[in-house]
Chains A and B, each alone.
Chain A
């Protein structure tokens, strides 16, 4: 079972990767750290020894700039080597994912394209009578893109009950807060109107994440969308809800302070 200590351990690795590379979306990764950890370690039916297993659950990281969060997990699960460098010439581990990385189903980077792709995978499972589930993590900022709502429309209309979208609702885009720029709320009502079952949770609470996904293997009428209320940069005091930290790697000094906070969660000191 994933616990906060485990999540902090993964976050520390993410921090190191970005600090060493001098670039990376630490805050975007940390807002969905618990969600991704639970998906990989507890929910998704995957097989690291057979990454191409036909019946595996599919994972689409639509807010792909947060993909660095998945790399330490893919390393931990044995999909990729621990020596694979982040953002070096010739390396496959970039800010955004690509198919050359074992365990990755989606080349991302541009916002608004993941959910449509996920709909295609889920629809394809229906056509081929496969039982796998497709999970798609979206940023709330990308929910401004029209293509996201076209896909929500399709998923709802086709009753893709094997599709689970999770919106990382940190309420912060790149430079400003969503409700200040162009309000996205009320999201739950909008999703329900599009034919989805919508559940709102605290996206940092491990039990709430688990509970919200507990029935995904049972029969449901509609596709499921979890609106996970999160904090961008969660767990690092000076990064939380700070627009200036978007896409920015910590300096040595900032990384030291951040590491200290993460270690307090891991070791209590």
Chain B
């Protein structure tokens, strides 16, 4: 996905004189050609994230479409107020591209994890949150919304889904239809959810845009099936629950969720070991879904 992101950025910066790429040193290496070719519009600012976000907002006001690339905790959390005030409040547009996802950098510890990015940024009205699960999904979503004048957060992962499905900005994809209830998955959980749902008679919806949340597809797909919804995301539990509940418009549903538990992750180990710890291995998801829909 990173390679696709680099390709998209390279094309955009090369073809649009009203664009700017701001790097905060981490991950800057692949862009050295752009830094040399477009020294005025492509810059490695340094380890200077909040200031760089503000700078990007300033550029945006003069008609430039800025891209800030970094890793999730340093953009979504360290620079939260700058996104809130310099972008959302100031009504400026720009693109924040991050790697790291929830705990892709598993060896680097809690400071470099960010399962909270989606729920944190969801509290800022007007910020779009995009969570592609494959490189081609990144490409589609990038094309759909990078120049739409809104602040858009692109959460990338190094652990992509292997299965493809077509996606569209702001729309959920219907991966499967069933009669026992509905499963909602997002980002890199699609492969596991589809594998877990293989033998289950359930509808599966796949969200690559979290904000704005596609309530309409959910409402249409759950209208005629039992009132049971299972959520599976790689974010902190609760990150999309409010969106789902709002879409239900007061109807009573049984909801179960697999996600990262709301705790400080103090352990090391690999990404797979982290998934196991969080209940996000294929076996765990499979068991949990079966239990929820079939009571076994």
Interface, chain A (partner B; CB < 8 A): 21, 23, 64, 87-91, 94-96, 98, 100, 107-112, 141-142, 144-146, 173-176, 178, 181-182, 243-244
Contact = CB atoms under 8 A, between A and B. Distances in A.
A109 B47 contact: no
A94 B50 CA distance: 27
Nearest to A184: B46
A178 B46 CA distance: 8
B46 A181 contact: yes
Contact of A87 (B74, B78, B112, B268): B268
B269 interface: yes
Interface stretch (B102-110, B138-146, B189-197, B209-217): B102-110
A146 B50 contact: yes
A145 B46 CA distance: 9
B47 A89 contact: no
A109 B108 contact: yes
B110 A109 contact: yes
B63 interface: no
Given A89-B273, A111-B47, A144-B47, A174 B266 contact: no
14 contacts: A21-B107, A88-B269, A89-B267, A89-B269, A89-B270, A90-B268, A96-B108, A110-B111, A142-B47, A144-B45, A146-B50, A173-B47, A181-B25, A181-B45
Which 4 residue pairs are nearest across A and B when measured between Cβ atoms?
Answer: A109-B111, A89-B269, A144-B46, A144-B48
Contacts of B47: 111-112, 141-142, 144-145, 173-174
A96 B269 contact: no
A96 B46 contact: no
Contacts of A173: 25, 46-47
A23 B107 contact: yes
B247 interface: no
Contacts of A142: 47
B107 A175 contact: no
A176 B109 contact: no
Given A109-B110, A141-B25, A175-B29, A100 B48 contact: no
A183 B111 CA distance: 27
A14 B270 CA distance: 21
B157 interface: no
Contacts of B45: 144, 181-182
Contacts of B29: 175, 243-244
Nearest to A180: B44
Nearest to A99: B266
A110 B112 CA distance: 7
